Amino acid sequence: MTTSSSTLVDLRSDTVTRPTAAMRDAMLSAPLGDDVFGDDPSVNALQEQIAGMLGFEAALFVPTGTQSNLCAILSHCQRGDEYIVGQQAHCYRWEGGGAAVFGSVQPQPLNHQPDGTLALDEIEASIKPDDAHFARTRLLALENTLGGKVLPFAYVEQATQLAQRKGLSRHLDGARLFNAAVAQAAERGTDPRTEARRIAGCFDTVSVCFSKGLGAPVGSALCGSREFIARAHRIRKMAGGGMRQAGILAAAASHALDHHVERLAQDHALARRLAEGLAGIAELQVEAPQTNLLFVDLTGAARSRSAELLAHLKQNAVLATGLYRLRFATHLDVDASGIDRAVRAIRSFFHA
pLDDT tier at 1 (50, 70, 90 boundaries)?
very low
Domain carrying residue 200? 31-259
Tell me whether residue 1 is in a domain: no
Asked which of 220, 237, 259 is the last residue of a domain, the reply is 259
Q: Specify the pLDDT at position 6.
A: 59
Asked which of 230, 259, 288 is the last residue of a domain, the reply is 259
pLDDT tier at 320 (50, 70, 90 boundaries)?
very high
Q: Specify the pLDDT at position 324.
A: 76
Tell me whether residue 25 is in a domain: no
Whether 191 and 303 share a structural domain: no
Residue 2 has pLDDT above 70, yes or no: no
Residue 241 has pLDDT above 90, yes or no: yes
Whether 135 and 207 share a structural domain: yes
By the 8 A CB rule, do 145 and 290 touch?
A: yes
Q: Specify the pLDDT at position 351.
A: 85
Residue 3 has pLDDT above 50, yes or no: no
Tell me whether residue 21 is in a domain: no
Q: How far apart are CA 330 and CA 347, in angstroms?
A: 19
Whether 218 and 331 share a structural domain: no
Question: Residue 293: phi, psi to the nearest 5?
Answer: -115, 125
Mean pLDDT of the chain: 96
By the 8 A CB rule, do 34 and 351 touch?
A: no
Domains held by the chain: number: 2
Whether 214 and 311 share a structural domain: no
pLDDT tens digits, 16-68 = 999 999 999 999 999 999 999 999 999 999 999 999 999 999 999 999 999 99
- CATH number of the domain within which 253 lies: 3.40.640.10
- CATH number of the domain within which 276 lies: 3.90.1150.10
- Closest to 141 in 3D by CA, of 196, 95, 178: 95
pLDDT tens digits, 162-211 = 999 999 999 999 999 999 999 999 999 999 999 999 999 999 999 999 99
Residues 318-347 have a mean pLDDT of: 95
Whether 292 and 268 share a structural domain: yes
pLDDT tens digits, 151-164 = 999 999 999 999 99
Neighbours of 66 (CB within 10 A): 21
By the 8 A CB rule, do 139 and 73 touch?
A: yes
Whether 272 and 190 share a structural domain: no
Residues 113-132 have a mean pLDDT of: 97
Taking the whole predicted model, whether its pTM rises above 0.85 is answered as yes
Q: How far apart are CA 127 and CA 163, in angstroms?
A: 9
Sequence-distant (≥ 6) Cβ neighbours of residue 131 within 8 angstroms: none
Q: How far apart are CA 72 and CA 85, in angstroms?
A: 13
Residue 114 has pLDDT above 50, yes or no: yes
Tell me whether residue 2 is in a domain: no
Whether 219 and 313 share a structural domain: no
Whether 91 and 196 share a structural domain: yes
Q: Specify the pLDDT at position 352.
A: 56
Tell me whether residue 130 is in a domain: yes
Asked which of 259, 294, 320 is the last residue of a domain, the reply is 259
Asked if residue 205 has a cis previous peptide bond (ω within 30° of 0), the answer is no
pLDDT tier at 7 (50, 70, 90 boundaries)?
confident
Whether 153 and 178 share a structural domain: yes
Tell me whether residue 3 is in a domain: no
54-68, 173-187, 227-241, 338-352 — which is least confidently predicted? 338-352
